[in-house]
Amino acid sequence: MCGIIGYIGEEEAAPILLDGLSKLEYRGYDSAGVAVYSKDQGLNVVKAKGRLEVLSRLVDGGKSVHGTVGLGHTRWATHGQPSDINSHPHVSHSGKIAVVHNGIIENYVKLKQFLISKGVAFVSETDTEVVAQMLEYYYEGDILASVAKVLARIEGSYAFGIICSDCPNQLIAARKDSPLILGFGKDCNFLASDVTAILKHTRDVCYLADGDIAVLKQDQVTIYNVDLEPIEKPHSHVDWEISAAEKGGYEHFMFKEIMEQPKAVRDTVSPRIRDGKVVLDSVNLTADYVQNLKRLYIVACGSSYHVGIVAKYTIERLVRLPVEVALASEFRYCNPLVDENTLVVVVSQSGETADTRDAMREAKRLGARTLAVVNVVGSTIAKEADDVIYTWAGPEIAVATTKAYSAQLAVMDLLTLYLGDLKGTLPAPEYDAILGGLQKLPEQIEEILSRKEDIQYYASLYFNNQSVFFIGRNLDYAIGLEGSLKLKEISYVHSEAYAAGELKHGTISLIENGTLVVALATYGTLFDKLMSNVVEVKTRGASVLALTTDSRRVQLEKETANIRPVDHIISIPDAHEILLPSLAVVPLQLFSYYVALLRGCDIDKPRNLAKSVTVE
Ligand code: AGP
């Protein structure tokens, strides 16, 4: 949460900072601010509650704030509600030092009390102001020394950008448990939470590690360890196109990313299939290790967790290995049954989700091998896991994940085949059928996308519903969880995903005339059982929108002609059963998108959310 950027160079900093912040807004968007230094104006801090455009108007697109060095911040509030005062940058009491921060200072109350006892007056409710004030408290003319002292006293997570008006020819960056990169430009240098913010200016970057401190000057960057000893760090080249992080003519990133799913799945799958086999170059599991595994854990949050639920069904079915799926925030504190015979798979688009990262660390501590499925290259989870499989979905900007989710599902299918092969549980014909099916997914997703107007129509019928249920069994239930989350996070419609057979144990009491029930009926084996549950809700007045396969649609249409168990049918191409979730999720994403559009919601930046959840 929160995006930070810093620039030092020869050009006017403010427009560059604002442009960078516009790429970071997905990380938080309740307020924004910049601090820019110039000889004439000193340290000029402008910040405002609201979206970046509010700040941008205040500074006339950056034209009214002069100086060639500065910091910017876009906020997702933790300590103190969104307000002008609580916005970053925060400055020390003399106005000499400004700080932008992503993370949480856990011991800020103690430090604040200490500073208050020394006569320091605070203006905001934030944890970050404590850092600005402490920097000044320890400052004796050497800002780097002061930074080192403050870092030694604070607990928690941080990515900092710091500027001091006594030495305006430099910016300081420091990180622990929050992402921070450096960018090396021509006659300029950058710090940022994410490469998207600086890609316009440079592709030459360096990922800071925990404990790193960097001093950025216009023509030189020095990186230090916690003891302030200079260290060398490798540079990385970012090779994806700038257009990948831009809307490219679409009204919303979410819609663009939905439409990019065929490519995301193809890019993720194709390079990993060679000579009819799954090849995972970055994974080093042996047949012995897999055969001796007692249990596999999948640990993640939100949509990535839902990927885990799908994978539990497929891995247990095809690899015959017990799979526990755990919410990362719970796993960490439940004394999990994990040891060296457990493989812990962590799934994270951002690779920076604090709960998932810390759950992974806990698993490692307990002796498990960890395998990460991650989209963001160079992210903390990717770096710390024993093995990594990247989802090559490209940058995902919309807060609601779509293409990264689909790429994660594809990776879990690859992993299932890989493990099944090593464990010897997958007969060759089934292995080949799934592999062939996986390769066909991109074109099948394209086919579903070409039918999007049908889904738009159903959204227009139901966008005013206050409550929606997604019911399904087995893999259909797993996909219902994601459909339900998509709908609530972007359209603010209350929805629940329920295992269809469980409804009658209580929740069915919520079904009344006109309640929309989305019946997920792609899973052939349980189709008839699911339809019995559909009849139960229909009898109680529900409107039923069924999602099934093309071939079952024919059957359902025949039945609906006489007894109308469903009101409308959406269908997806037929595929191997374990691959159906990859297809079924697409209409559900589109449905949520169109409902949110009709309800006038801010689709790419839903209220209260942020893309990368770097706090516990
Ligand atoms: C889904 O649309 C959400 N944005 C959210 O649930 C997300 O999947 C979750 O926060 C986990 O993020 P990660 O994959 O980056 O770890």
The model's pLDDT over 435-487, given as tens digits with 9 standing for 90+, comes to: 999 999 999 999 999 999 999 999 999 999 989 999 999 999 999 999 999 99
- The reply to whether 606 falls in a domain is no
- Domain co-membership, 159 together with 294: no
- The reply to whether 329 falls in a domain is yes
Separation of 401 CA from ligand 1 center, angstroms?
A: 7
Residue 301 a catalytic site member? no
- The reply to whether 20 falls in a domain is yes
Burial grade of 128 (CB within 10 A; 0-12, 13-18, 19 or more): buried
Which of 301, 402, 409 has most ligand 1 atoms within 8 Å of its beta carbon, as the pocket-test mutant?
301
| Residue 563 reports pLDDT greater than 80 | no
pLDDT of amino acid 22: 94
pLDDT of amino acid 247: 82
Candidate list 96, 256, 605, 611, residue with the active-site label: 611
- Domain co-membership, 429 together with 507: no
Nearest ligand 1 atom to the CA of 301 is 11
Q: How confident is the model at residue 407 (pLDDT cuts 50, 70, 90)?
A: very high
- Domain co-membership, 71 together with 162: yes
- Domain co-membership, 209 together with 286: no
- The reply to whether 244 falls in a domain is no
- Domain co-membership, 177 together with 234: yes
Nearest ligand 1 atom to the CA of 489 is 2
- The reply to whether 274 falls in a domain is yes
Q: What total of structural domains would you count in the chain?
A: 3
Return the CATH number at 127: 3.60.20.10
pLDDT of amino acid 562: 66
- Domain co-membership, 82 together with 212: yes
- Domain co-membership, 405 together with 486: no
Note whether 409 and 585 are within 8 A (CB). Answer: yes
Average pLDDT for the chain:
94
Classify residue 358 by its DSSP letter: H
Query: Structure pTM?
Result: 0.85
Residue 164 a catalytic site member? no
Separation of 347 CA from ligand 1 center, angstroms?
A: 10
Note whether 29 and 607 are within 8 A (CB). Answer: no
- The reply to whether 612 falls in a domain is no
Pairing assessment for the beta strands 230-231 and 31-38 based on DSSP bridges: unpaired
Domain boundary among 428, 444, 460: 444
- Domain co-membership, 437 together with 460: no
pLDDT of amino acid 557: 84
- Domain co-membership, 328 together with 423: yes
Candidate list 2, 164, 188, 301, residue with the active-site label: 2
| Residue 159 reports pLDDT greater than 90 | yes
Return the CATH number at 330: 3.40.50.10490
Alpha-carbon separation of residue 309 from 277, 303, 371, 475, 479 (angstroms):
25, 10, 17, 8, 9
- Domain co-membership, 50 together with 72: yes
Q: How confident is the model at residue 564 (pLDDT cuts 50, 70, 90)?
A: low
Cα separation, 234 vs 60, whole angstroms: 38
- Domain co-membership, 97 together with 159: yes
pLDDT of amino acid 561: 65
H or E stretch at 111: helix 108-117
pLDDT of amino acid 611: 79
pLDDT in tens, 106-134: 999 999 999 999 999 999 999 999 999 99
Does ligand 1 lie within 6 Å of residue 606's CB atom? no
DSSP string, 259-297: HTHHHHHHHHHGGGEETTEE--TT----HHHHHH--EEE
Separation of 122 CA from ligand 1 center, angstroms?
A: 35
pLDDT in tens, 249-306: 899 999 999 999 999 999 999 999 999 999 999 898 999 999 999 999 999 999 999 9
| Residue 239 reports pLDDT greater than 70 | yes
End-to-end CA distance of the chain: 11
Domain range for 394: 253-444
pLDDT in tens, 40-55: 989 999 999 999 999 9
pLDDT of amino acid 174: 98
As a whole number of angstroms, the longest Cα–Cα distance in the chain is: 85
Q: What mean pLDDT do residues 166-173 have?
A: 97
Q: Which residues of 242-257 are buried (b: 16+ CB within 10 A; e: fewer)?
A: eebbbeeeeebbbbbb
Q: What mean pLDDT do residues 594-612 have?
A: 90
Cα separation, 548 vs 572, whole angstroms: 6
Helix, strand, coil % in the chain, rounded to nearest 5: 45, 25, 35
Residue with more model confidence, 175 or 29: 175
Q: What mean pLDDT do residues 20-41 have?
A: 92
Domain boundary among 215, 239, 263: 239
- Domain co-membership, 74 together with 91: yes
Q: What mean pLDDT do residues 563-572 have?
A: 87
- The reply to whether 247 falls in a domain is no
| Residue 177 reports pLDDT greater than 70 | yes
- The reply to whether 609 falls in a domain is no
- Sign of the four-CA dihedral 397, 399, 400, 404: positive
Cα separation, 363 vs 370, whole angstroms: 7
pLDDT of amino acid 164: 98
